[in-house]
Amino acid sequence: MAQIGYSKKVMEHFMNPRNVGVIENPDGYGQVGNPVCGDLMEIFITVKEDKIDDIKFRTFGCGSAIAVSSMVTEMAKGKTLDEAMLITRKDVAEELGGLPPQKMHCSNLGADALHAAIKNYWVKIGKIKQEEVKEESHEGEGGESCGT
């Protein structure tokens, strides 16, 4: 298999992912699919005093997607919901020390699933309306398939 240059951090999060699992009756739940490869990520959050108190993920995807999920949950835990909404796909990839170009699309799911979970919570508490929850764009960040 060709060596495509994963950072140490990606490997470490893939081998030892943080916050794996499911939260029963979460305050917020987000699920996104990656249109490039069909992989799927779910994020569950509980909220206390407007902060992410607990967060877990379940990812049916490649190693990079698992590393991204692990990293995004670590970045988001303890942050206020507004702060967590500012975490971008690029931030997650950068925190991981970068991803190989052909795996950049795998970094899309993390921030998108996190934002979906927060919006789900906001709909539940009446802060926003369901109609305001629109899919985040999956365009423009490494569109090519990685073939896994």
Tell me the C-alpha distance between 19 and 77, whole Å: 10
Residue 65 sits in the site that holds ligand FES (CB under 6 A): yes
Angle of helix 108-124 relative to helix 63-76, nearest 10 degrees, comes to: 50
**Which of 48, 30, 50, 49 shows the shortest CA–CA distance to 40?**
30
Instruction: Tell me, yes or no, if 106 is annotated catalytic.
Output: yes
Catalytic one among 20, 37, 40, 123?
37
At closest approach, how far in Å is the CB of 46 from ligand FES?
Answer: 26
CB proximity list for 39: less than 8 A, separation 6 or greater: 33, 59, 60, 61, 62, 65, 106, 109
User: Between 93 and 106, whose beta carbon lies closer to ligand FES?
Assistant: 106
Binding piece for ligand FES, criterion CB under 6 A, among 4-12, 59-67, 87-95, 124-132: 59-67
Binding piece for ligand FES, criterion CB under 6 A, among 6-14, 32-40, 81-89, 136-144: 32-40
Total of chain residues touching ligand FES, rule CB under 6 A: 10
User: Which of 106, 111, 113, 116 is in the footprint of ligand FES by CB under 6 A?
Assistant: 106
Q: By CB under 6 A, name the binding residues for ligand FES.
A: 34, 37, 39, 61-62, 64-65, 106, 146, 148
